[in-house]
Amino acid sequence: MFRRHASGSRTAAPVSHPGPGHGLTAAGQPAGSGLPSAAVAVAEPTGRDPGGTPPPGLDVSTAHPARVWNYWLGGRDYFAADRAAGEQLSREFPHLAQTARTERAFLVRAVRFLAGPARIRQFLDIGAGLPAGGNTHEIAQRIAPEAGIVYTDNDPAVLVHARALLQNPMLASTPEGVVSYVDADLRDVTAVLAGTARTLDLGQPVALIMLGILGHLDDYGAARSITSQLMDALPAGSYLAIADGVAGSGPVDDAQQRYNGAAAVPYHLRRPDQVASFFDGLDLIEPGVVPCSRWKPDASGASGAPGAPGAPRAGAGPANEASVYCGVARKP
């Protein structure tokens, strides 16, 4: 799938589809558009869609996965080329935009739980994508202003965007808390942990968030190993939150195969039981590993990101339920 980040931060990790920032998850993958050539070709004249000046040194004439993801989520950090690519991808691969919104809605609910009833005050979000409404630090610090959040990514464009955006008072950390970005690749666990330790106290519980990035690792065993290494480095009382696209839906599987055939950075869907295996040894929080829209849904039943173009409703029935599974578990 395209996901919201790739290797370790919220700005660059792809999901099971073209995602928010596509280079964060796969070590050795060059940062770039990661989009099918047809999507890149529809780029419109340079210029930011919602208005504003792009960060210095960035070429915004070509679509970037992180900014396309931001467009799907109803954010503001995208440009004309990204909007054009997002609209074309939505027509050709409708599951991608739906996945983006479903994962973001799950993220909001999961962080509310983690910062609220679970009383977690430290968050490590790997492959998070560009800041948009409902980012981890916004949700967590609304509940616990003293919360510390680390986003990890290895996409230079994502890091430039993120650092510029976080200077905006609307997106900046609270005075009591802290938000930082770490330039690291998901496959380099040592670098991820070392960068995280500069901001967070790894002797205290941490919520590890990995949304839409594990499919960038084509080796299932490697994906499990990396997840285990990260959780092994965190103390008891830490949590793991995962959401990922799953195989099993004929139309979605076919669309993902077509996308992978054209994209520079493919995304590998896994079976629901394989997604569940990432939580082995941990205590799953009810309702377990389920489609995202069924994990502690809001009373309103809304599953789409607020303000996102054409956001679907989770409560409207199976046809509107993206093929994305998720879960949250506690380390005993």
Q: Render pLDDT for 229-265 as a digit per residue (tens, 0 to 9).
A: 999 999 999 999 999 988 876 777 777 777 777 776 7
Mean pLDDT of 88-114: 87
Distance of alpha carbon 231 from alpha carbon 239, whole angstroms: 8
Least Cα distance to 231 among 268, 199, 193, 194 occurs for 193
Collapsing DSSP to helix, strand or coil, 258 comes out as: helix
Question: Which residue do the tokens 């980040």 mark?
Answer: 5
Q: What is the pLDDT at residue 332?
A: 98
Secondary structure element (H or E) that encloses residue 86, with its range: helix 80-92
Q: What is the pLDDT at residue 318?
A: 45
pTM for the complete prediction?
Answer: 0.79
With residues binned 3-state (H G I as helix, E B as strand, rest as coil), the percentages for the chain, rounded to 5, are: 35, 15, 50
DSSP β-ladder status, 207-211 and 178-183: unpaired
pLDDT (tens digit per residue) in 148-170 = 999 998 877 777 777 776 777 76
Whether 284 contacts 62, CB under 8 Å: no
Distance of alpha carbon 63 from alpha carbon 195, whole angstroms: 29
Instruction: Return the higher-pLDDT residue of 73 and 283.
Output: 283
Distance of alpha carbon 195 from alpha carbon 95, whole angstroms: 34
Query: Which CA distances in Å does 148 have to 12, 65, 109, 257?
Result: 20, 27, 18, 38
Q: In this model, does residue 284 exceed pLDDT 60? A: yes
